[in-house]
Structure 1
């Protein structure tokens, strides 16, 4: 996971926690777990702006 943008600490912690939780509980691929976590964050009024969920990309093996 990488970003070249500034990120907000609290929303980033929420996104990462949600992504890893989804990955372990549902056996999702890394990219699908990230996608679902981003959608969940984007659906909340406080973090719906792309600043909070869009700056993250996966590098390397996405499986």
Structure 2
């Protein structure tokens, strides 16, 4: 799994941080999403998918791959 974010689409709701805090963070200055890692461990991948689904701005994209 590879995760990308589009900060232009982020509205700062913070659902991603609440759902997968080891993967997502928010900037102190603007509240926008930041990635802690773009390749999450298997144990949190379902949480990352949920965070992407919950994101009101659609700022999170999950790329499933074997590489």
| TM bucket, shorter chain | 0.3 to 0.5
Q: Select the structure that is richer in strand.
A: 2
Q: TM-score, normalised to structure 1's length?
A: 0.37
Q: TM-score, normalised by structure 2?
A: 0.36
